[in-house]
Amino acid sequence: MARHLITSALPYINGIKHLGNMVGSMLPADVYSRYLRQRGHDVLYICATDEHGTPAELAAKEQGLPVDVFCAQAHDAQKAVYDGFALAFDYFGRSSSPENREITQHFARRLNENGFIEERAIRQVYSPADGRFLPDRYVEGTCPHCGYDKARGDQCENCTRVLDPTDLINPRSAISGSTDLEVRETKHLFLLQSKLENEVREWVAQHDKDWPQLASSIAHKWLTEGLHDRAITRDLDWGVPVPADTWPELAAEGKVFYVWFDAPIEYIGATKEWADQDPENRDWKSWWYQAEDVRYTEFMAKDNVPFHTVMFPATELGIREPWKMVDYVKAFNWLTYYGGKFSTSQKRGVFTDQALEILPADYWRYFLIANAPESDDSSFTWEHFTATVNKDLADTLGNFVNRVLSFSRKRFGDAVPEGGTPGEAETRLGEQIAELLAEYEGHMETLQFRKAAAALRALWSAGNSYLEEKAPWLEIKTDKDAAALTLRTAMNLIHLYAVVSEPLIPATATAMREAFALTDDTAAWVTAEEAKSLSSVPSGTAFTVPPVLFAKLTDEDLAAYKERFGGAEG
């Protein structure tokens, strides 16, 4: 049985992430990790905050904090939100860690030894007022294409055109605002991706039949355009330093590695961080080095795909060491907010901390997975969210649990009732549940999250259909044993739902499971035979009625959400 290594795109450090970021990487990775653990696999789910680069320095400057202090606080704030969403990372690290610095510098040295790094002189914007070269994002000005006056030196956020700092009209320093800028010569390290292009192309081709079309097509698009040599150092105060033993002149100038060079390496760095917490019991390297028994799955939104399918693989191929490369890239399209982009910088849409202020995590977890932007972009609207919560969570699942347990307690007391012999309806139900469970498992195995959520919803619906068919509230009037059988069968369905729903709605799954006083309840999953027999909760088992699992959302709730966050008008 393969060990499963799972990573999700590292959330950037500058601010709490929005729901689009959550559904495009961390949440589906968590759902998949939870599922694999329940099926008995050895799983390691690694993530971290991506802390280097210009935006981190600028965000720290805006808050008047040293960048290391800002990053430490922001890391803790993000981790608190992810804990609130019940993301079960094995470790959530930091790209500014000593471990990542060590491994990044090792990779750079090896690339250099193998002839894939070259020192080149380039012309770059220099600010005498600031006494430093300005990385592209430290230069602001007017976009020559659309006239937006707050365009950055790497890209115009308004028209999305890629820019060079020297393209800007009336450029100014983002640090001091000075317009007294010069273009001077300086030296940087370049990764010679052009030398590695054929190897990357062959490696991508090996995965054409395995990867989702979205990931494969993006990788091929970049390869079709050709891999260009890329600068991998920057003039910043914050980052992984260029090692002085290899490049003493650049190290003396304070050069650091470009964030997109060190960020993917942090997957490995964070694994070492995890091991360093308990070095006697954790062999971090076996997950990454000569790890033939490991299946590695990455989760990310489509904007991250080129870096993970082309650029980082070029780095790994170039170091000529047997480090683990990704087996499967699960890529997602955008989750939009009423058809427009979620935006961290423009505060547009629902952010994850705000979501948890409104409703518990399971409401969001289920909705996002059920509407994951897999085949194309999907739109978040409050109307759709409210309707989904009410129909699927409150009515189909929550109401089933509540009415079964409440009615049984009222008519039979606080223990699972005995009596009655399973008949045709129970046999038919068992076959249906086993079939739906197999469908659910199949979609989870192939990482089809919307289809998995639909299969889970169908499992919940099957219980309601059985209840309506048997109508224990009528059976109790003429045949008490028949009503006992129906309710006992329904209670077994609740327990089954608790087990198999855990990847999507873990808190609710725990509440359903704890409703029954099963002292030896160690079931990690449900076999087909158990699904057919529906007998894991025997008669006589004490139970309690949990509080309402999902509250229905009202028209007043909907109006309040739209007033706070904006609706179709944004």
Phi/psi at 271 (5° precision): -65, -40
Q: What is the distance of C-alpha 461 from the center of its chain? A: 28
Instruction: Give this prediction's pTM.
Output: 0.94
Question: Which residue is associated with the tokens 């961080």?
Answer: 273
Phi/psi at 393 (5° precision): -85, -50
Residue type, 364: W
DSSP state of 289: B
How many Å apart are CA 117 and CA 366, to the nearest integer? 46
Query: Is 159 among the annotated ligand-binding positions?
Result: yes
Name the pairing type of β-strands 91-94 and 43-49: parallel
Q: Residue length, the chain?
A: 570
How many Å apart are CA 472 and CA 481, to the nearest integer? 10
Cβ atoms of 203 and 89 within 8 Å: the answer is: no
How many Å apart are CA 192 and CA 197, to the nearest integer? 9
Task: Count H helices and E strands in the chain, helices first.
Answer: 22, 17
H/E stretch holding 47 reads strand 43-49
- State both tokens at 337: 């907010």
- State both tokens at 80: 């608190």
Nearest to 261 by CA among 241, 278, 281: 241
How many Å apart are CA 368 and CA 399, to the nearest integer? 21
Strand ranges (DSSP E) for 216-363? 230-231, 233-234, 256-257, 294-301, 328-332, 335-337, 340-341
Query: Is 146 among the annotated ligand-binding positions?
Result: yes
How many Å apart are CA 161 and CA 167, to the nearest integer? 11
How many Å apart are CA 462 and CA 453, to the nearest integer? 14
Query: Is 47 among the annotated ligand-binding positions?
Result: no
- State both tokens at 514: 């704890």
DSSP state of 303: G
Triad 347, 88, 104: Cα angle to 5°: 75
Handedness of CA 144, 150, 155, 156 (dihedral sign): negative
**What is the set of domains in the chain, with CATH numbers?**
3-107+259-378 (3.40.50.620), 116-196+212-239+243-252 (2.170.220.10), 382-533 (1.10.730.10)
Nearest to 308 by CA among 409, 392, 165, 207: 207
DSSP-assigned beta bridge partners for residue 231: 190
- State both tokens at 207: 């995965």
Residue 213: Cβ within 10 Å count = 10
How many Å apart are CA 470 and CA 484, to the nearest integer? 11
Per-residue pLDDT for the chain (570 aa), expressed as one digit of tens each? 789 999 999 999 988 999 999 999 999 999 999 999 999 999 999 999 999 988 898 899 889 999 999 999 999 999 999 999 999 999 999 999 999 999 999 999 999 999 999 999 998 899 999 888 888 888 999 999 999 999 998 888 888 777 888 899 999 998 889 999 999 999 999 999 999 999 999 999 999 999 999 999 999 999 998 999 999 999 988 999 999 999 999 999 999 999 999 999 999 999 999 999 998 889 999 999 999 999 999 999 999 999 999 999 999 999 999 999 999 999 999 999 998 887 766 667 899 999 999 999 999 999 999 999 999 999 999 999 999 999 999 999 999 999 999 999 999 999 999 999 999 999 999 999 999 999 999 999 999 999 999 999 999 999 999 999 999 999 999 999 999 999 999 999 999 999 999 999 999 999 999 999 998 888 899 999 999 999 999 999 999 999 999 999 999 999 999 988 877 654
